[in-house]
Structure 1
Amino acid sequence: MATTLHPVDRNYNFTLIKGLYLLPPQGEQLWSSGIRDGALVNGGLMDDNGNFMVLGSNSTLWESFKFPVDTILPTQILDKGMVVSAKQSETSFSIGRYILVFQCDGNLVSTTINLLSDHLNEPYYSTGTAAGVSSSPGVQFVFNESGYFLVSRENGEIYLLTQRITASAKDFYFRATIGFDGVFAHYLHPKSASNDSDAKWTSVWFVPDNIYSASLVSASSGVCGFSSICSLGGGGRPTFACPKGYTLINLNDEYSDCKPNSTLSCGDEPSGVPVEDLYDFEELINVDWPLADYALLEPFTENQCRNSCLHDCMCSVAIFRLGDKCWKKKLPLSNGRVDPGLNGGKALLKVRKDPYIPCQGNKNKREL
């Protein structure tokens, strides 16, 4: 339900009056189900599938399955335009950057959204079920009671996302969640377990296989925050890190943007001080920030690449690879990643040296 915009504490109450309302101990309502005025509410019901329904005299006035947050359950259906939104972090239930949306063209995609706006970036996962020359468009995304994900097409055909489910719905609970890191995963939990170690949710399927290699966006930071570096962790999940010389903007959020520890801009260097005394390079192998280039220099040697970036006040990193190519980049850096496919390519990250202290002469020198 839409309460991810306003996470609440345990003192709040759900009340069923002329609809479903979330009320604080004192003050005005925080959220309501938005049932039309004049509708007669007879009661509420949670069915065996986990769908909470507000019931009228002869119809369902509202149901939670139509308003998913970050998780869907078996028998739940996404119609065109419906969205599943990740939370902000493992501990914060505010809306995050990742969404799963069943688009109006019949395609199911995972993508990032530029928060405080409705702009969707290029998807990093897609079922490819939009209308095509030889295919019928999708009409619904279904999580069926057997634990399979499928897109039903307009012509009655189905597109299966999960090819084989070995666990039985008789013995396991199923759920699917888009994580705060953007990975959409299918989990199962035994209905009965002999010990505590077995009584846990286990991921059995996820997409995409490698989220940061699948994502390349032109108007956002990418999977990681600005100027950070993504690498692949367990279960297809990205891990995030700031490069040396950079720190998190929000120290309480390890997935936030990174900022340089010292200023890298034109006009801030002490006059008369050689840039060689002010800056050095941190060398990173198989690291890149695609789409942050503002200049490509070729043919260039590595030394020419270093010197060009060193003497260019706009250059924050230079990428040298393919033997003679030098890409210069400026802040903020986007789409950061570790990529073994770069075959030893070097990222030359310009960092400030320790504070420059000019020589003041020997004050202990005796005057003759």
Structure 2
Amino acid sequence: MLLSIFSKLMATSVFLLFLPLIFFSSSSSSTIDRLNRASSLSVEHADDVLTSRNGIFSAGFFPVGDNAYCFAVWFSESSSEGNRTIIWMANRDQPVNGRKSELSVLKSGNVIITDAGRFTVWSTDTVSESSVFLKLDENGNLKLQNSEGVLWQSFDSPTDTLLPQQLLTKDMKLVSSRSQGNFSSGFYKLFFNDDNVLCLQYGGPHITVYWPKPWLKSWEAGRSIYNSSRIASLDPWGYFSSSDNFNFTSADYGERVQRILKLDFDGNIRLYSRNYGKEKWTVSWQAMSEPCMIHGTCGPNSICSHVPHLGRKCSCLQGFKIRDRTDWSLGCVPEFNLTCTRNETGFLKLSHVEFFGYDYDFFPNNTIETCENLCLEMCDCKGFQFKFVKHDHPDNIPYCFPKKQLLNGHHSPNFEGDLYLKVPKKTLPFQETGLNCSSTVVKQLNRTYTKHPENASQKFVVRFAIVFGAVELGVIFVVGCFFLRAHQNSNAGMHNYYRLATGFRKFTLSELKKATRGFSEEIGRGAGGVVYKGVLSDHRIAAIKRLNDASDQGEAEFQAEVSTIGKLNHINLTEMWGYCAEGKHRLLVYRYMEHGSLAEQLSSNALSWEKRFEIAVGTAKGLAYLHEECLEVEILLEVALKCVAEDKDARPTMKEVVEMLLRQENDSELV
């Protein structure tokens, strides 16, 4: 009797155990990790999603526009900005309607997405006689399986993202999205080419490869073409390896964090990482450090320029106008008509401008005059690139590149070459592209220097760096004076909020008091005010400068001056984060320099001669890059590099260098 009762209880338990599965197979929606045969997920039900067992990944219909949805896989937890991080999409180029659209697992073993219950827009194209199910794995892979194994998986057809342990093979490619908010297929691709090399390609109106550097042979770029396996992958620790010998290690290698390798819409491939939870993704590696070297950025007949902290900027060539102000990829069109008559055609020189590719041919050992004649003989020649290419010997060989089209244009002070644009003579002269530092004529500096008996190389470099520090302090003093100017006609009763063009944050006085613990830790002072160390609410360490009495300065004018300072952005300048203008109080918030100032380091004995040399040259190059075409910086760079490189006694003293700079400023009427 007891045995019979126990048997009935066991049968009932087995029935109850399988009851959820029976219920699920007859349901049209699911919130677990798998979808069984003859089941579906509906676009109309927000809870119709699959969630991996570890809860990290979700799959379902994702809104990509007004009444437009794509079936996607994403990280379940949103980022700190509140956005979902999409890692895969099925129908990215053919979204479905927000009503009656479904993803269904058919009895035949196929998985399809239907638009409004009528049209099939996507399919796995699979067939199975045995029962199948669609499952979202803990690693983010969406798999269609039967009793014999995997029939289809999302890891085999990536969109723009690779996850750790996901392979990129010869039959796969990553395709960027069209823009920041447009998930449809864009112009950029990451794939293995026919030479077994992993490369980045721009596939817009004109197809070009821009990574690795196209002017390099494979072996010159450190790649191998003798491995036809064509396979690459990212491990969970942040190490990426490819069969063509390309590999890299993330900046946070070894940490247990979430990672994705993504081909962004701007054509750069980046490795992102974040701690588990709702945190912001940070870049731990990227392929291209110079964003303007990415092809197709600004379209035909236009130039890409990189502005530190602001990003890329597109501009039309002189004599051209933008084709479509909403889409720079379409480039610019000429506002003039060119004829094939030689005496009606001239050339406009654009310094440090390069247009890569689309050459008729290259012609070595040519002068500018012969290159002009070559281009004039070709009616459809748009201009020519003229540059010096260094080979194994120290001599520079001039090369001429007549251009069929003007594509992939960029401006860089480091580019040693010029573009000569073909234009009608009647339109000359144009003003050449560049920074106009003064509206007056700049006089040539006299480069005759007096001898100094004690000018050892190391002493010069140290003094040279100290001069830069003195100049910096002078600039800070001048800026402080600006902030201390009194304006008697300001309205003290008005403290309106004016948002700065630079995007600085406006802090309250109470926030900064709390950050500095009542302005208790002083780290420096000068004529303009006192600097305190503080910790902001987002845990960033800041240097907070409390300006001396500036109570009569209006907030609008104060913010205008802050905005002006903010435009002087450069990687070697201390970053400004915000300001405070409350009542009579005026404060500036900067990034805190954890390792102290350059002056402190130079005053110590911790730096070797080689490091001091790098600091001096790097400082000069940084200023030259910041100011680009400004004559006074070019002169300073030339003086510094010449005096450091040549081991001679004929060098200027520090006093003479400063006097030359001051004379140059007076001559060009610069403040």
TM-score, normalised with respect to structure 1: 0.69
- Give distance in 1, aligned partners of 2:410 and 2:162: 30
**Residues 104, 58 of structure 1: alpha-carbon distance in 2 compared, 3 angstrom cutoff:** farther
CA distance in 2, matches of 1:352, 1:324: 29
Match of 1:345 in 2: 418
2:138 is equivalent to residue 48 of structure 1: yes
**Is 1:6 the equivalent of 2:98?**
no
Report the counterpart of residue 285 of structure 2 in structure 1. Answer: 205
2:354–2:385 CA contact under 8 A, matched in 1? yes
Cα offset, 1:142, TM superposition: 1.2
Q: Distance in 2 between matches of 1:347 and 1:56?
A: 64
Residue number in structure 1 paired with 2:355: 289
Greater helix proportion = 2
Deviation of the 1:73 alpha carbon: 0.9
Alignment match, 2:151: 61
What is the Cα deviation at residue 123 of structure 1? 5.2
Change (3 A) 1:329 1:222: farther
- 1:256-295 alignment, distance < 5 Å: 256-265=330-339, 275=344, 283-294=349-360
> Is the aligned partner of 1:189 residue 2:302?
no
Give the distance between the partners of 2:137 and 2:307, measured in 1 at CA.
37
For 1:333, the aligned partner's letter is L
Distance 2:398 2:142 in 1: 59
Tell me how far 1:250 sits from its aligned partner: 3.8
Q: Tell me the SS of whatever aligns to 2:168.
A: strand
How far did residue 65 of structure 1 move?
A: 0.8
Quick one: which amino acid aligns to residue 173 of structure 1?
Q
Structure 2 CA distance for partners of 1:102 and 1:316, relative to 1, 3 Å: closer
Letter aligned with residue 94 of structure 2: H
Q: Which one has more relative contact order, counting CA pairs under 8 Å at least 6 apart?
A: 1
Q: Distance in 2 between matches of 1:207 and 1:284?
A: 28
Supply the AA of the counterpart residue of 1:338: H
Q: Supply the RMSD in Å over aligned alpha carbons.
A: 4.1
2:250–2:271 contact (8 Å) kept in structure 1: no
Partner residue in 2 for 1:156: none
Which deviations, in whole Å up to 9, do the C-alpha atoms of 1:27-71 show, x marking residues without a partner? 311111121x34445322111211111222331221111100111
- The verdict on how the C-alpha distance between 1:329 and 1:26 changes in structure 2, with shifts beyond 3 A counting, is farther
* Superposed CA offset, 1:275-333 (max 9, x none): 4xxx886653211224445586954469x95x997998645435566699795856531
- Residues 159-200 of structure 1 show CA distances to partners (whole Å, capped at 9, x for unaligned) of 562235426553x3211111222211101123235xxxxx32
Q: C-alpha deviations, 1:212-233, integer Å up to 9, x for none?
A: 55x7xxxxx7665222223346
Aligned AA (2:91): T
* Residue 76 of structure 1: how far off its partner (Å): 0.7
Matching residue of 1:218: none
Matched, 1:79 2:169: yes
Task: Identify unmatched segments of 5+ residues in structure 2.
Answer: 1-88, 213-220, 389-395, 428-671
- Partners in 2 of 1:324 and 1:148 — Cα distance? 41
Instruction: Check 1:264–1:96 CA distance in 2 against 1; reply closer, same or farther (3 A cut).
Output: farther
SS of the residue corresponding to residue 91 of structure 2 reads: helix
Q: Structure 1 CA distance, aligned partners of 2:286 and 2:147?
A: 41
Q: 1:244 aligns with which of 318, 326, 341?
A: 318
Greater mean alpha carbon deviation, residues 63-72 or residues 89-98: 89-98
- Deviation at 1:24? 1.1
Kindly indicate whether the alpha-carbon contact (under 8 Å) linking 1:174 and 1:189 is maintained by their aligned counterparts in 2: yes
Task: Give percent identity, aligned residues only.
Answer: 25
Residue in 2 aligned with 1:231? 305
C-alpha displacement at 1:85, in angstroms?
1.1
Corresponding residue number in structure 1 for 2:453: none
2:383 touches 2:419 (CA, 8 Å); kept in 1?
no
2:115 equivalent among 5, 8, 24: 24
Letter in 2 for 1:86: S
Is contact 2:238–2:252 with CA below 8 Å preserved after alignment? no
CA–CA distance in structure 1, aligned partners of residues 261 and 166 of structure 2: 10
The one-letter code matched in structure 1 to 2:110 is: G
Indicate how the Cα distance of structure 1 residues 348 and 45 shifts in structure 2: closer, same or farther if over 3 A, else same.
same
Structure 2 equivalent of residue 143 of structure 1? 234
Q: 1:25 to 1:44 in 2, by over 3 A?
A: same
Residue 345 (structure 2) pairs with residue 317 (structure 1): no
Change (3 A) 1:127 1:24: farther
Decide which structure has greater strand share. Answer: 1
Contact 2:155 2:166 in 1 (8 A): yes
Question: 1:146: how far off?
Answer: 1.9
Contact 1:245 1:351 (C-alpha < 8 Å) held by counterparts: no
Specify every segment of 5 or more residues in structure 1 that has no aligned partner in the other structure, as ranges. Answer: 154-158, 194-198, 216-220, 268-273, 355-368
Superposed displacement of residue 21, structure 1: 1.6
Match of 1:15 in 2: 104
Partner of 2:584: none
1:101 deviates by 0.9
| Residue 161 (structure 1) aligns with | 247
Preserved CA contact (<8 Å) 2:355 2:408 = yes
Distance 1:181 1:15 in 2: 34
Question: What do residues 96-121 of structure 1 show as CA deviations (whole Å, max 9, x unaligned)?
Answer: 22211135664322223366xxx964
Offset at 1:5?
3.3
How many pairs were matched up? 318
